[in-house]
Amino acid sequence: MSRLRVAVVGAGPAGIYASDILMKEAEGTHEVSIDLFERLPAPYGLVRYGVAPDHPRIKGVVNALRDVLDTGRIRIFGNVNFGTDITLEDLQQRYNIVIFSTGAFYDADLDIPGIEAEGSYGAADFVNWYDGYPEASRTWPLDQSSVAVIGNGNVALDVARVLAKHADDMLPTEIPANVYEGLKNTAVTDVHVFGRRGPLQVKFTPLELRELGEVPGVDIVVAEEDFDRDPESDEAAKKNKQILVISRILGKWRGEQESLEAPRRIHLHFYARPAEVVTEDGRVSALRVVRTEPTADGGVADTDEIRDIPVGQIYRAVGYFGSPLEDVPFDERRGVIPNIAGAVVDGNGERVQGLFATGWIKRGPVGLIGATKSDARETVEQILGDESNWWQPTIDDEQELFTLLEKRQVRFTDLEGWRRLDAHEQQLGEAEGRERVKVVERDEMINVSRDETGDTK
- For 9-40, give the DSSP string: E--SHHHHHHHHHHHHHTTTTEEEEEEEEESS
State pTM to two decimals.
0.92
Let me know: does 358 contact 375? Beta carbons within 8 Å: yes
What pLDDT, on the 0 to 100 scale, is given for residue 59?
65
Which of the four pLDDT bands, split at 50, 70 and 90, describes residue 456?
Answer: very low
pLDDT tens across 29-40, in order?
999 999 999 999
Distance set, CA 389 to CA 6, 34, 59, 120 (Å): 13, 18, 38, 46
pLDDT tens across 283-301, in order?
999 999 999 999 988 899 9
| Number of residues in the chain | 457
What pLDDT, on the 0 to 100 scale, is given for residue 63?
86
| Rounded percentage of the chain residues whose pLDDT exceeds 90 | 81
Which of the four pLDDT bands, split at 50, 70 and 90, describes residue 91?
Answer: very high
Across the chain, mean pLDDT equals 93
Q: Is the pLDDT assigned to residue 320 strictly greater than 80? A: yes
Let me know: does 129 contact 435? Beta carbons within 8 Å: no
What pLDDT, on the 0 to 100 scale, is given for residue 457?
40
What pLDDT, on the 0 to 100 scale, is given for residue 55?
80
What pLDDT, on the 0 to 100 scale, is given for residue 56?
67
What pLDDT, on the 0 to 100 scale, is given for residue 61?
83
Q: What is the mean pLDDT of residues 349-354?
A: 96
Which of the four pLDDT bands, split at 50, 70 and 90, describes residue 96?
Answer: very high
Provide φ and ψ at 247, rounded to 5°.
-60, -40
Q: How far apart are CA 269 and CA 226, in angstroms?
A: 8
